[in-house]
Amino acid sequence: MIIVTGGSGFIGSALVWRLNQLGTDDIFIVDHFANDEKFRNLIPLRFKDVFDKEEFLEKEIFYDLLKDENIDTIFHLGACSSTTEANFDYLLRNNFEYSKELCLGALDFNARFIYASSAATYGDGSKGYKDDEKALQDLSPLNGYGYSKHLFDLWVRDNGYSDQVAGLKYFNVYGPNEYHKKEMRSVVHKCFGQIKESGKAKLFKSTSDKYGDGEQKRDFIYVKDAVEMTLHFYENKDLNGIFNIGTGEANSFNSFIKPIFKTLNLPENIEYFDMPENLIEKYQDFTCADTDKLKKSGYKKPITNIEDAVTDYVKNYLDMKNIYLH
């Protein structure tokens, strides 16, 4: 039996989709639905039951499942992932305290605990992007979201759990099932809508002397590849500690969205606009996962190159109006 928190969210629902493909449906979904449309991600999926995130702990459903359902693995992917969230009390409760309780429950019942950390913990990248537990204290996240994730990474390490649980630092994941994320959607999703409406895409102007407009670079990873990497830690239960989930390559925003025009047989047309003042000091101009540790762990599956991945996303999902994996 498996628990997936954030199971109707972006990466969580994609993970359940892949588990279903592999013949697994003994899955409990945990999530917070509120007023968004992410419940639609559950429609094509197979699972045993679904629970509200708050009731899951408050009504001790979690502990009942641990006692009665032989829970083998907990994928803790649920979190507030907004990099602009200003209420740190909320981030502390949702991303830190909630994670601690789930982790301790898993350890008490000898269940595998795999949780989502984030590349946002690396801050401006001046300390590099190496997934080294010993260097965690040197990192300086740029926003509350990144810091809330960083706090849990530190808590796991400082309490001696790094050799019992796996923390996955996801870089810039994009792909099907992200439609509900509003401003946290990938640039591909946003620009596809802009291109269909007006024939042009909009990107931030650069605020750095190091990068031209649209030449800021990120490690963009297709959600299908991110899920395969996540399952690597499910299949290899002796792999614990912090690991980066990325491609190991940095691509510019310009190169990221150009395949949209190509797939739609439209001329490239990109407009650059000023970045909002409140984002400038919190913006990562460059990210690139150090994937040496992942490779040494035995992960050998090929990673979809950016043009093929964006083409698949646009052609088989966005342009076909398939809002979720199928």
HSE (side-chain half, CA atoms, 13 Å) at 24: 17
- Residue 159: C-alpha distances to residues 48, 92, 153, 175 (Å): 33, 18, 10, 35
Q: Pick the catalytic residue: 122, 129, 145, 147? A: 145
Rounded distance between C-alpha atoms, residue 96 and residue 117, angstroms: 11
Told to judge if 234 belongs to the known catalytic residues of this protein, a careful annotator would answer no
Instruction: Give the HSE-up count for residue 297: Cα atoms under 13 Å, Cβ half-sphere.
Output: 25
Q: Please identify which of the residues 53, 127, 181, 293 carries the catalytic annotation.
A: 181
DSSP structure string for 159-217 = TT-TTT-EEEEE-EEESTT-GGGGGGS-HHHHHHHHHHHHS-EEEEPP-STTS-TT--E
3-state SS class at 251? strand
Q: CB–CB of 216/204 below 8 Å?
A: yes
Work out the number of other CB atoms within 10 angstroms of the CB of residue 222.
24
Q: Rg for the chain (alpha carbons), in Å?
A: 19
129 catalytic per annotation: no
Q: Which residues are catalytic?
A: 145, 181
